[in-house]
Structure 1
Amino acid sequence: MSTETIVTQPAGQSNNPDMARPAPVVSDKSMPFIVYCLFLAGVFFFLPGLVGIILAYVKGGDERDPVLAAHYAYQKRTFWWATLWLFLSGMLMMAIIGYLTVFIALGWYIYRCVKGMTRLNKHEAI
């Protein structure tokens, strides 16, 4: 005669770690949107852009939603490329052409922020 031990778990609990934390029904798009807004404010004031890139690095590292993770990566690339182009434009200002390249770089930066905001609003990857 054999005795079998049946282990039961309370309802709603599982041994699967993926089941322990259910994915949110509605993803939180507010933080990437705030980062885009800070980037746009950074066009006029330096500090908001700096706060925006810090938030993108802090919040983007643990993002589970692939769409939002793509937006954080896009924000990081946008910030660093704009920083590079604005630095190079500053160096070129001695040759007058830098004034034109500053406006081109800022226009590109604003375009990427607005494009990212509209794609984020539609919950599309970028």
Structure 2
Amino acid sequence: MTYSIDKDPNRTLTFILYILYIVAIFSAGLLAIVALLINYLKLDSVKGSIFESHFRFQIRTFWWYLAWTVIAFVPFVFLLFTAQDAALFASVTLAATIFCVSVLVLSWLWIVYRAIKGIIRLNDNGAI
């Protein structure tokens, strides 16, 4: 009996996890957390296969995405120091909002890029 990677149930799971990471932005990140939990729970069962590299890639992607999301909101801390001056408060709010939205959009594009890259490698039956 020959083993085909195309029929491996882990292939379908890996693909679904990539999709969950892509659409996570529409669920405030909840789907990414679900995907991360599945990645950690199933990591032992994919040891030694090409799927292990995909799972580790997805896990790293999540943690970097979380780090960039936290960094995006850091400038809002400066609002605590500007409450006395309305003009300064307004300008800091505008700058923080522009920074936050820019970082969030770029990080979302980055996570989509990584997911598509992973899907392409998965489709080619290759490790990431």
Give TM-score, length-normalised by structure 1.
0.74
Is the counterpart of residue 30 in structure 1 residue 12 in structure 2?
yes
8 Å contact from structure 1 (residues 40, 113) kept in 2 = yes
Q: Which of 10, 22, 30 is matched with 1:40 structurally?
A: 22
Distance 1:82 1:122 in 2: 25
**Structure 1 residue ranges, 4+ long, deviating more than 4 angstroms after superposition:** none
Q: Which of 39, 56, 77 is matched with 2:60 structurally?
A: 77
Output the aligned Cα RMSD. Answer: 1.9
Per-residue CA shift, 1:93-119, capped at 9, x if unaligned? 552322211111111111101111111
State the SS of the aligned residue for 1:43: helix
Aligned residues: percent identity? 29
Per-residue CA shift, 1:40-75, capped at 9, x if unaligned? 121211322111111111112221443111000000
Q: Which of 38, 46, 50 is matched with 1:63 structurally?
A: 46
Which structure would you say has the larger Rg?
1
8 Å contact from structure 1 (residues 38, 48) kept in 2 = yes
Give TM-score, length-normalised by structure 2.
0.73
Residue 101 (structure 1) aligns with: 103
Q: Does the C-alpha gap of structure 1 residues 92 and 115 become closer, same or farther in structure 2, counting only changes over 3 Å?
A: farther
> When you count helix as a share of all residues, which structure comes out higher?
2
Residue 113 (structure 2) aligns with: 111
Which amino acid in the other structure matches residue 103 of structure 2? T
8 Å contact from structure 1 (residues 78, 109) kept in 2 = yes
Which amino acid in the other structure matches residue 77 of structure 1? R
